Structure 1
Amino acid sequence: MHKGYVSLILHAHLPYVRHPEYENFLEEKWFYEALTESYIPLINVFESLERDKVDFRISMTLTPTLLSLMSDNLIKHRYLRYLERLLDLTEKEIQRTQKYEPYLYPVARMYESRFKEVYHTYVDRYHFDIIGAFRKFMDAGKLEVITCAATHGFLPFIALHPEALRAQIKIGVDTYRRFFDRNPVGFWLPECAYVPEVDIPLREEDIKYVIIETHGLIYGTPRPKYGTFAPVITQGGIAAFGRDVESSKQVWSASEGYPGDYDYREYYRDIGYDLDFEYIRPYIHPDGIRINTGIKYYKITGKGDYKEPYDRKAALEKAAIHAGNFMFNREHQIRYVSGGMERPPIVVCPYDAELFGHWWFEGPDWLNYLFRKAAYDQQVFRFITPGEYLEMYPENQLSNPSPSSWGNKGYFEVWLNQTNDWIYRHLHKAAERMIELAEMFPDARGLKKDALNQASRELLLAQSSDWAFIMNSGTMVDYAVNRIKLHINRFTRLYEEIKKGSIDESWLRGLESRDNIFPDIDYRVYRPVTRPLYP
């Protein structure tokens, strides 16, 4: 009999980085890298576990923006070209390393095998349908996919306008239903940012649970009896699961986490920067900007600049050791905690999905080893999804969680500080105007309805929490600033043209082609809310 449960939750998200107006847009590469290094390798791990009849359970967020990118025909074919260029570069690297750097030749061969497997999965096995791949494991009962806000908007700030909050939540849920033909059980709060105002719109969409940061749960009122080892029910009737501190530290910590081990692949050393410019030029940005190619030959080695060649065998051995260590720690954690509980505890382990494969190259292998070891080498815990746990234990303590997020310092500072505070007066004003338009035109038709729907899209895209996060991090700041300004300016022009009754149809159709997310959007979601803000 198992003493408890472990729930792994991978949050897969990217902002909407689709730019049809450019043949090669640098930020679109974020999506191609995530597919190649994280999402498809994870699918391949699931395939291998299913093939070997290893039982596993895992939860994933596939955000509405990510689903939209995965399903877009333009992006699909651009990604195919990206893969073909990558395979071409790999073939050249095999020849180059064999002749000039034979100590790197085995690593080049590893990349050839890896990229061919990604190509086979994408093209031959799933025929460009990555969403269908995830749906397959959902249907098999192995994967619980949950949804998120429409454009990953930072809900505590959007909640100033209940209509805008409702729109982010409802459109996110509707997008999930469109792709998966079912209702989502869980909802990933963007940045794990909780405020009580989210409860009512979540309940209206029949959401059963959310994931919140550790202190958001344990500082709840009243204090949860079981800490983070059982969910609580909020005043609005939503189950809230808290992130486990110990398991998070083992994977996330920069100083103590597994990904920093010296045998693992070094992320920051890429041939896009290392090799001769003329040689690598066809495989970097057309403007001559050096970028990551995904081919990295060295292991972390240590904290200095000196790096040794990557040893794939040693890295896999270390991944197996770390998987065993994680399992061992969960066994002892659950043994200890279960002694003071009247039910089996659940250890909730949420991570960014892109950590596995993109940042931590061996992350998918670690998951593979972990599921296999847990299936055969222990009887203390079983992997479970939050939805399954709630079905088994639907009655939980009532507690009102504290406002919180999983950002630095645990509250909202990452998304509101001197680097990004200027954006909110524009976002709030646009939200007010969108609500005004929805009230002014309750039943628009034709061109006016199309313009109102496009105004909704522009507002949602401007509200993405990614832009404020990027400004705070100090990387790609110009892109984030430009995206905010672009969508706000488009929204403002639409607002003015709609009110004047003089809509530039040619310009509107161009916007619909470029920002074509949420094809079934209905601007009336912004109609004024008359219910209470929160329970």
Structure 2
Amino acid sequence: MSRPVGGFALVLHSHLPWLPHHGTWPVGEEWLYQAWAHSYLPVVDLLRLLADEGRRDVLTLGVTPVLAAQLDDPYALRGMHDWLGNWNLRAQYAAVRWQNSDARLRDVAAAEYRASAAALTEFEERWLHGFSPVLRPLVDGGVVELIGGPATHPFQPLLDPRVREFALRAGLADTALRIGHRPVGIWAPECGYAPGMETGYAAAGVGRFLVDGPALHGDTAFARTVGDSDVVCFGRDLDVTYRVWSPKAGYPGDPAYRDFHTYDHPSGLKPSRVTGRQVEPQDKKPYEAALAADAVERHARDFVDTVVRRLTDLRALHGRPGLVVAAYDTELYGHWWHEGPAWLEAVLRALPDAGVEVTTLRGAIEAGYVAGRVDLPASSWGSGKDWRVWDGAQVADLVDAGAALQRDLLDLVGTIPAAVGRDAVLDQAAREALLALSSDWAFMVTKDSAADYARRRAKVHGERYAELASLLRAGARDRAWARATELRDEDGLFGNLDARALRTNE
């Protein structure tokens, strides 16, 4: 094979906040099951297909510990099985409802029936024992590089360093228990970074992480060591990444693709195509799979051409092959963008034929796509590329509550004598605190996306923490134990979490 024009690393970030037992529709468990059915199942199926063809280092897959906990949770697994069966029934209902309607609607119902039946079979044959047994062979076989992160996806720059270390180590340890590999790389939640965080990463055994392109002033052609550490950062190449999805445009907005927002409410299916940005839902045209397939082919070709042009320019600029890192939420592929998995397969097959070396972050380092050191500024991948989404005026109350909660948690842990062994009540208090500190709540409030739900979730977990802390301080051990047991039935993720790691007096 001739020398590649350069390297391409696709990074997928799989994440949802903890949802089991916390509401169903429209936000809550429904969110989990939709993403599971329409993104996680088809993306894993594609990875297994490529693995069977002998492909390795296909992409870097980020799975947050809080999502992995849900995908392995018995309650969520039962709920998902029920949801898939219901999807199949809804498709059958739509077929009857539309039997005398436009032939395109009948095609939608038939396609939904086939897709739901296939998903149900796939789930029953491979997923009934959870995600970890499905993911582990892909990691062991080198098909994907698995990267992790802090336990509940908190915005790390706003954490006390001790809480930050606790959340990160807990997340890495949980992934190691599930998959048998402790991740060396992480997707820092929201790509949030504060100067000096690389020191904590190095201490926790993290060797590489993601930042957004502007943190590197757009110079994303190579990985770079951060500060005086050996920790390496990779920057998202926004010129390429935004071809797919940006705050303003991207492939999923093509008129031929399925419209995410337009429902047929009696069946719960989405029978329309985008049609046009200014077209009202009732005026959107029925979905046509053939039109969408043509758009997938066109957009895959455009993306590959964009990557090749970018790498050609980088090689001319630097005198050697460079790297493109394109990073997205996994949920874009299938959930938000119905045709996303098909586009993903087309791109991953076409890039090598175009002379591009498809690799992982680990593979990129091994291939030498590394340059010198860099001092990173405070940054994120949110609006403005700063921290405003998570510490702006709209969420000042959440920020203040989170800071107070952290101070109280550290004080509470410090009051427990060192001689005392592991305490299930204290562990549950720490669990509730971490759930209250999830970055999702501030994001949803700032973006006005189910903001009431987000505020309620932050409040509920904060109050649950405070209740347990109060009982512990009062010495009401029996009441504290009973209440912690009740709460663990709902918020029982991270069973190996040990709050003693937060102690500051040892």
TM-score (norm 1): 0.89
The CA RMSD over aligned residues, in Å, is 2.0
Amino acid aligned to 2:245: W
Matched, 1:471 2:463: no
The 1-side partners of 2:24 and 2:190 are apart by: 32
The 1-side partners of 2:484 and 2:44 are apart by: 38
1:482-501 to 2 correspondences below 5 Å? 482-501=456-475
1:416-435 to 2 correspondences below 5 Å? 416-435=391-410
Alignment correspondent of 1:73 = 74
TM-score (norm 2): 0.94
| SS of 1:117 mapped into structure 2 | helix
| SS of 2:372 mapped into structure 1 | coil
Alignment correspondent of 1:453 = 427
The alpha-carbon deviation at position 442 of structure 1 amounts to: 4.4
Contact map agreement 1:155 1:193 (CA 8 A) in 2: yes
Equivalent position to 1:3, from 5, 10, 14? 5
The 2-side partners of 1:522 and 1:197 are apart by: 26
Matched, 1:340 2:333: no
Amino acid aligned to 1:337: L
The gaps in structure 1 that reach 5 residues or longer are 220-226, 281-292, 531-535
| SS of 1:422 mapped into structure 2 | helix
The 1-side partners of 2:308 and 2:368 are apart by: 21
Alignment correspondent of 1:152 = 153
1:31-430 to 2 correspondences below 5 Å? 31-53=32-54, 57-158=58-159, 161-218=160-217, 227-235=219-227, 236-253=229-246, 255-272=248-265, 275=266, 280=267, 293=268, 295-303=269-277, 304-305=279-280, 306-375=283-352, 377-379=353-355, 381-393=356-368, 396-430=371-405
The alpha-carbon deviation at position 249 of structure 1 amounts to: 1.5
The 2-side partners of 1:54 and 1:440 are apart by: 53
Amino acid aligned to 1:484: A
Contact map agreement 2:223 2:370 (CA 8 A) in 1: no
The alpha-carbon deviation at position 3 of structure 1 amounts to: 2.4
| SS of 1:357 mapped into structure 2 | coil
The alpha-carbon deviation at position 393 of structure 1 amounts to: 2.6
The 2-side partners of 1:425 and 1:384 are apart by: 42
Contact map agreement 2:414 2:505 (CA 8 A) in 1: no
The 2-side partners of 1:63 and 1:144 are apart by: 14
Contact map agreement 1:212 1:241 (CA 8 A) in 2: yes
The gaps in structure 2 that reach 5 residues or longer are none
* Cα 1:496–1:316 shift into 2, 3 Å: same
The alpha-carbon deviation at position 142 of structure 1 amounts to: 1.5
The alpha-carbon deviation at position 133 of structure 1 amounts to: 2.0
Alignment correspondent of 1:518 = 494
Alignment correspondent of 1:12 = 14
The alpha-carbon deviation at position 252 of structure 1 amounts to: 1.1
The alpha-carbon deviation at position 10 of structure 1 amounts to: 0.8
The 1-side partners of 2:79 and 2:9 are apart by: 35
The alpha-carbon deviation at position 342 of structure 1 amounts to: 4.9
Contact map agreement 1:254 1:260 (CA 8 A) in 2: no
| SS of 1:347 mapped into structure 2 | strand
Give per-residue Cα distances to partners, 1:371-393, cap 9 Å, x unaligned. Answer: 12223x322x1111111111233
Give per-residue Cα distances to partners, 1:254-301, cap 9 Å, x unaligned. Answer: 5541111111111111112xx4xxxx5xxxxxxxxxxxx3x2111111
Alignment correspondent of 1:29 = 30
The alpha-carbon deviation at position 515 of structure 1 amounts to: 1.1
The 1-side partners of 2:377 and 2:400 are apart by: 26
| SS of 2:186 mapped into structure 1 | strand
Contact map agreement 1:260 1:300 (CA 8 A) in 2: yes
The 2-side partners of 1:515 and 1:271 are apart by: 34
Contact map agreement 2:441 2:458 (CA 8 A) in 1: yes
The 2-side partners of 1:122 and 1:391 are apart by: 36
The 1-side partners of 2:290 and 2:54 are apart by: 25
The alpha-carbon deviation at position 206 of structure 1 amounts to: 1.2
| SS of 1:406 mapped into structure 2 | coil
Amino acid aligned to 1:312: A
Give per-residue Cα distances to partners, 1:405-460, cap 9 Å, x unaligned. Answer: 110111011112232110122211221122122222243646x8111111110110
Amino acid aligned to 1:27: G
Amino acid aligned to 1:14: L
The alpha-carbon deviation at position 528 of structure 1 amounts to: 2.4
The alpha-carbon deviation at position 126 of structure 1 amounts to: 3.9
Contact map agreement 2:468 2:483 (CA 8 A) in 1: no
The alpha-carbon deviation at position 362 of structure 1 amounts to: 0.6
The 2-side partners of 1:37 and 1:204 are apart by: 37
The 2-side partners of 1:61 and 1:444 are apart by: 38
Deviates more, 1:353-362 or 1:412-421: 412-421
* Cα 1:351–1:24 shift into 2, 3 Å: closer
Contact map agreement 2:59 2:360 (CA 8 A) in 1: yes
The alpha-carbon deviation at position 127 of structure 1 amounts to: 3.5
* Cα 1:246–1:149 shift into 2, 3 Å: same
Alignment correspondent of 1:287 = none
Deviates more, 1:91-100 or 1:113-122: 91-100
| SS of 1:348 mapped into structure 2 | strand
The 2-side partners of 1:126 and 1:507 are apart by: 32
* Cα 1:4–1:154 shift into 2, 3 Å: same
Contact map agreement 1:122 1:130 (CA 8 A) in 2: no
The 2-side partners of 1:124 and 1:493 are apart by: 42
The alpha-carbon deviation at position 353 of structure 1 amounts to: 0.8
Give per-residue Cα distances to partners, 1:329-376, cap 9 Å, x unaligned. Answer: 11111112112325421101011111111111111100011112223x
Contact map agreement 1:163 1:525 (CA 8 A) in 2: no
Give per-residue Cα distances to partners, 1:155-186, cap 9 Å, x unaligned. Answer: 1111xx21111111111111111111112021
Give identity over the alignment, percent.
27
The aligned length equals 498
